[in-house]
Amino acid sequence: MPMARAGNERKCEPRGRPRSAVRPPRLRGAAVKRGAEAPTLIASAQRALRLLEAAAQHPAGATAKQLARDTGLALGTTYHLLRTLVHDRYLERREGRYRTGPAVLGLSAEAPDGPEAGRIRLDRMLRRIAHELNAAVHYARYKDGEVELVAARAAPGTATADPANFRSGAHAHASGKTLLALLSAEERREYLASHPMVPFTPYTLRQPAQLPLLPGPGPRRAAPITQYQEYQLGLVGAAVPIVLGSELAAIAVALPLSQAHRLTAVAGKLQARVGEDLATAAFGV
């Protein structure tokens, strides 16, 4: 019987799925399937992180418009995210400029050295004091001829003083009155000449002679200086000085008017808390 030529011989194919269509083995565990979809990303979180990165490039702070340009975000979106980041203390806003806040610094496993470490320590101390006293607490200092608000914390349910007029309102809020009381007569005259005693409420002091003075020696032993609705209606406060060498600062508490009866006791507890640790942290900022 004649044999078929090899060239004409037909190869037998197995029935079913072609070999080229055989599925590869399924990957398990950490292995990733070929062609798997990318993870879902939260766009708002990405934009917020971009803002944080941009703000970190400006140690002295940047305006919202500058950050919007740096990140390519719409200005409205930038303002919306900045409000959230400031509220959660990932950013700080001072005089219209934004810079990284204590919450960002606290993410580091090891606190940085220098002023940043001081900011972290000060923020933690103020937060602890606010919780212990159930009040709003802020720290202010006199630097380069100006009274400036450095940091503030508030216990839940308490209100902080409006920071908008803090520099110009030193004659009205408790920390400012305390700092002015620590200045020499000449320094105080110079300050008030450039910062007139404008009235913020009907209770605001209007004459330099009405401002309290602190004795030169042992200012920490002086009684806390108070204000009753002089800076902001519905708010009372008290402050004690913090002096370290030639550095002048004050730490103050604020309470709603409905809790004015607590002010003397709270101010006394605040004064007892002022010590070298707080002064060192404060002036390290």
Cα angle 277, 283, 285; round to 5: 110
pLDDT at 281: 53
pLDDT at 282: 53
DSSP output for 200-217 = SSTT---SGGGS----SS
User: pLDDT digit string (tens) for 53-103?
Assistant: 888 887 667 899 999 999 999 999 999 999 999 888 888 888 788 988 777
Q: Which CATH number, 2.40.50.140, 3.40.309.10, 1.10.10.10, 3.40.50.300, labels domain 43-104?
A: 1.10.10.10
22 pLDDT higher than 50: no
Q: Domain extents for the chain?
A: 43-104, 113-283
32 pLDDT higher than 50: no
User: pLDDT digit string (tens) for 211-245?
Assistant: 998 765 555 556 899 999 999 999 999 999 988 77
pTM here? 0.60
What is the C-alpha to C-alpha distance for residues 250 and 237, in angstroms, rounded to an integer? 12
260 pLDDT higher than 80: yes
265 pLDDT higher than 50: yes
pLDDT at 278: 59
pLDDT at 20: 43
Tokens of 231: 């800076």
pLDDT band at 24 (very low <50, low <70, confident <90, very high): very low
Beta strands in the chain (DSSP E): 91-94, 97-100, 136-143, 146-154, 225-228, 235-244, 247-256
pLDDT at 231: 96
pLDDT at 216: 58
Q: What CATH homologous superfamily does 113-283 map to? A: GAF domain (3.30.450.40)
46 pLDDT higher than 80: yes
26 pLDDT higher than 60: no
In this prediction, residues 179-207 reach a mean pLDDT of 95
What is the C-alpha to C-alpha distance for residues 25 and 75, in angstroms, rounded to an integer? 50
**What is the largest distance, in Å, between two alpha-carbon atoms of the chain?**
134
What is the C-alpha to C-alpha distance for residues 200 and 229, in angstroms, rounded to an integer? 9
User: pLDDT digit string (tens) for 119-136?
Assistant: 777 888 888 889 889 999
**Three-state DSSP class for 249?**
strand
